[in-house]
Amino acid sequence: MNFQIKNLIRTGLSTAALLLCFGVNGVSAQVELVSSDTVNPSNDRATLFKQGTELNAMQRGNLDMAPVAIPDLYNQVPESSILSAAYLYRDYDHMRKVWASGVLDELLATIQEKAKIKVLTNVYIGTRQVNLKGDKVIKTPADLAGVKLRMPGGEVWQFIGEALGANPTPVAFTEVYTALQTGAVDGQDNPFTGTKVMKFYEVTDQIVLTNHLVANNLFSISQATWDKLDASQQSKVQECSIKYRDAWEAVVSEQDSSLRSFFEAEGLKVYDPDREAFRSHVQKKYMESKYAKDWPAGLVEKINAVK
């Protein structure tokens, strides 16, 4: 391939998978899984940007490709908040079927037009669960009343915590361990991988399997960079993005299925709540919120209809 992508991406696995797929001469990269908030790339083409700044960096021309967190799009593309809604997808398989069905094509075109990024694929990063201190059993959203639940900053993230029934508290990812340790927050929500990598299990007592968010990022390329590529190059970038997605998701899915026993061995109680109570409560909150007013008409029903 006779082209270069500079200021590539912000995760080591992304860099390795894509560069190896492109077949860039003289490049060696070590594949390693890192959390969504940390990075340890082994190749100097990867550039670290603070979480939440990738979209603006792409629009300014400082970054070509990145996994964009869906809530980061809200201010520019309000319609996109549907993609970060809790309980939008029934599970991972449903998410994959929805993305393959074409029902999101119009929304993705809107994102491309308004945010000036081309979404190459979405990448599963794990299913978010509620991880708490203490031994209070959580069965329904009412049981989370008054619980200070760390959520990422930004109003879309904070609304998810509120919809779950908790008192959402914004804390930087790198400060969550200390916040849990000192009691500044009572818990946090993350996929199993994030909870393990950041060792939150050391300062918490239970994981409630709410399955409230089949979390995924939008692996994207800036429109300006995309437009510089010819058709064959665009095809290769798209192909490599899918290979990257599949490699990443294989690792995440394996950890999803294996880490429960790890947490239980560490002394945490891991259990199912009344998930339908959570689902109905959260969906009602969303449909009554300002966010639903921005969603494309009929899209929720189309997503629900995908089997």
Cβ-defined contacts of 30-36 (< 8 Å, 24+): 31/247, 33/193, 33/248, 33/251, 33/252, 34/197, 35/173, 35/193, 35/194, 35/197, 35/198, 36/11, 36/67, 36/69, 36/125, 36/194, 36/217
The domains of the chain are located at: 12-305
Which residue type does 212 have? H
State the average pLDDT over residues 7-25.
Answer: 51
Which DSSP state fits 242? Answer: H
pLDDT at position 53 is 86
Helix, coil or strand: residue 122:
strand
Contact 245/121 with Cβ under 8 angstroms? yes
Contact 129/145 with Cβ under 8 angstroms? no
Cα 231-112-62 angle, rounded to 5 deg: 80
Please tell me the pTM assigned to this model: 0.86
- Residues in contact with 198: Cβ distance below 8 Å, sequence separation at least 6, in sequence order: 35, 173, 176, 177, 190
Q: How far apart, in whole angstroms, are the C-alpha atoms of residue 120 and residue 218?
A: 7
User: Which candidate, 226, 245, 250, places its Cα nearest to that of 11?
Assistant: 245
DSSP for 44-72, please give it: TT-----TT-HHHHHHHTS-SEEEEEGGG
State the average pLDDT over residues 86-91.
Answer: 97
Give pLDDT tens digits for 28-37: 332 223 334 4
Contact 158/170 with Cβ under 8 angstroms? yes
State the average pLDDT over residues 90-103.
Answer: 97
Residue 23's pLDDT band (cuts 50, 70, 90)? low
State the average pLDDT over residues 40-58.
Answer: 65
- Whether the per-residue pLDDT at 66 is higher than 60: the answer is yes
User: Which candidate, 149, 78, 86, places its Cα nearest to that of 294?
Assistant: 78
Contact 90/33 with Cβ under 8 angstroms? no
pLDDT at position 18 is 59
**Phi, psi at 223, each rounded to 5°:** -60, -40
Q: How far apart, in whole angstroms, are the C-alpha atoms of residue 209 and residue 272?
A: 5
Give pLDDT tens digits for 107-123: 999 999 999 999 999 99
The class that CATH gives domain 12-305 is alpha beta
**Token pair 């916040």 in the structure block, residue:** 179
Mean pLDDT of the chain: 87
Q: How many CB atoms lie within 10 A of CB 254?
A: 10
